[in-house]
C-alpha cells in the first residue's frame, strides 16, 4: 500500500468510528484480604546512605508490630512501611518520633487511593516539655496557644492538669523540618514584668546547634561556613534535648557499703608482706520494662589487700 492510498483511507475514517473502536477494559476484581496494607512512607533526615537491611531489622525490633510489617526501599532515601493491621501503624504514629542511628524518621500515613508522590514529608510530631510555666497560667487554652507557637498543636498530655505540682507540662506539636526549633517564649505579665518559658524536645535527633534546623549538625552547616560563627556563640545546644522521663534505678544501691569495699581493695603495686586475698563479688542487673530484674553478669574479682 502506497502513501497516497493510506492517506485516502485515513481521510475517510470518521471520528465516530475512532471513538467507538477499541477493546473492552477488563473487570477489576477486589483485592484479597491478605493484600490489604496500611502504609507509612518516610525518609530519614540525613545525607548518609541508609542500609535498608540493617535499618528494617532495628526498626522492627523497636516497633515490635503484633501482626508484623514489611519494609520496601522505594529509593536510597525513601521507604515504605506496610502493616497488615491498622493498630500497629497507629501506635507507631502516636509514639513517635522515631530515629535510626540518631537520624530522625519523617513519615506520614498514605491514605487509601493516594499516590506516594502526593504525600508531603515536611513536618514531624514531637512531645515538647514546657518548663517555667507558672501554675496560674497552666490551662488547656494557654497550653494550646503555646503548642501553636512552637508549631501546630496536636494534643496536650492528659496528665498535665490536676494532681500534684509538676515541674513541666507536655504538649504534642507538629514541627516543620525546614524551620529552626523554638527555644523559648517570653511570658508578659500584666504588671509589665516578664519571664522566659523554656522548651525541651523529647526524642530529639540530630540538629544543628548553630541554625537550629533538624537533619544536620553544625559540622555540616552552611551558616557556620559562610559566617564563621564560633561554637561558643551558637544559640542552640544539647539542653534542648529532654532527658529520659524514667531514670534507671540502681538495684541494691541502698544496701551497699562502697566505703568499706574501697578500703579493702588496693593496688597490687603497694608494698607490704604477702597479703591475704579479698574476694569481691560484682553483679550487674537489668530491670525490664515490666519491673522484672535479670542478672546479666556475675563475676568474682580477687585482689590482694595490705596488712593493717
* pLDDT one-digit tens code per residue, 81-112: 999 999 999 999 999 999 998 899 999 999 98
Is the per-residue pLDDT at 130 higher than 90?
A: yes
> Which backbone phi and psi does 42 adopt, to 5 degrees?
-160, 165
| Cell numbers standing for residue 106 | 519523617
Q: What are 16-71's pLDDT values in tens digits?
A: 444 444 444 444 334 444 445 799 999 999 988 898 999 999 999 999 999 999 99
**HSE toward the beta carbon, residue 95, CA cutoff 13 A:** 11
Question: How confident is the model over 57-78, as pLDDT tens digits?
Answer: 999 999 999 999 999 999 888 9
Q: Tens digit of pLDDT for each residue in 159-172? A: 887 666 678 999 99
Q: Which residue spans of the chain are classified as CATH 3.30.70.330?
A: 33-116
- Which residue shows C-alpha cell 511570658? 187
Decide: residue 91, CB within 10 A, 0-12 exposed, 13-18 middle, 19+ buried.
middle
499516590: which residue's cell? 115
pLDDT tens readout for residues 193-242: 889 999 999 999 999 999 999 999 999 999 999 999 999 999 999 999 99
pTM confidence score: 0.67
CATH top-level class of 33-116? alpha beta
Amino acid at each position: 500500500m502506497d502513501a497516497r492510498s493510506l492517506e485516502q483511507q485515513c481521510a475517510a475514517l470518521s471520528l465516530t468510528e475512532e471513538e467507538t473502536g477499541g477493546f473492552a477494559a477488563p473487570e477489576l476484581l477486589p483485592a484479597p484480604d491478605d493484600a490489604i496494607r496500611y502504609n507509612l512512607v518516610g525518609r530519614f533526615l540525613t545525607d548518609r546512605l541508609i542500609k535498608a537491611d540493617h535499618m528494617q531489622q532495628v526498626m522492627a525490633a523497636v516497633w515490635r508490630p503484633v501482626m508484623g510489617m514489611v519494609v520496601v526501599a522505594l529509593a536510597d532515601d525513601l521507604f515504605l512501611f506496610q502493616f497488615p493491621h491498622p493498630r500497629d501503624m497507629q501506635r507507631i504514629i502516636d509514639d513517635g518520633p522515631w530515629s535510626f542511628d540518631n537520624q530522625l524518621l519523617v513519615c506520614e500515613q498514605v491514605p487509601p487511593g493516594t499516590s506516594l508522590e502526593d504525600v508531603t514529608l515536611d513536618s514531624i510530631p514531637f512531645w515538647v516539655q514546657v518548663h517555667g510555666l507558672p501554675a496560674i497560667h497552666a490551662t488547656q487554652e494557654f497550653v494550646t496557644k503555646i503548642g501553636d507557637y512552637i508549631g501546630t498543636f496536636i494534643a496536650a498530655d492528659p496528665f498535665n492538669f490536676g494532681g500534684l505540682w509538676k515541674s513541666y507540662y507536655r504538649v504534642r506539636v507538629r514541627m516543620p523540618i525546614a524551620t529552626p526549633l523554638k527555644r523559648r517564649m517570653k511570658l508578659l505579665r500584666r504588671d509589665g514584668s516578664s519571664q522566659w518559658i523554656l522548651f525541651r524536645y523529647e526524642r530529639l535527633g540530630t540538629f544543628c546547634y548553630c541554625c537550629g534546623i533538624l537533619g544536620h549538625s553544625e559540622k555540616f552547616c552552611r551558616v557556620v561556613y559562610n559566617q564563621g560563627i564560633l561554637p561558643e556563640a551558637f544559640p542552640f545546644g544539647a539542653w534542648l534535648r529532654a532527658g529520659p522521663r524514667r531514670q534507671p534505678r540502681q538495684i541494691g544501691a541502698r544496701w551497699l557499703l562502697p566505703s568499706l569495699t574501697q578500703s579493702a581493695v588496693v593496688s597490687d603495686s603497694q608494698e607490704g608482706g604477702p597479703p591475704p586475698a579479698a574476694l569481691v563479688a560484682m553483679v550487674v542487673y537489668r530491670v525490664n520494662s515490666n519491673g522484672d530484674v535479670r542478672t546479666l553478669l556475675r563475676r568474682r574479682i580477687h585482689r590482694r589487700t595490705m596488712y593493717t
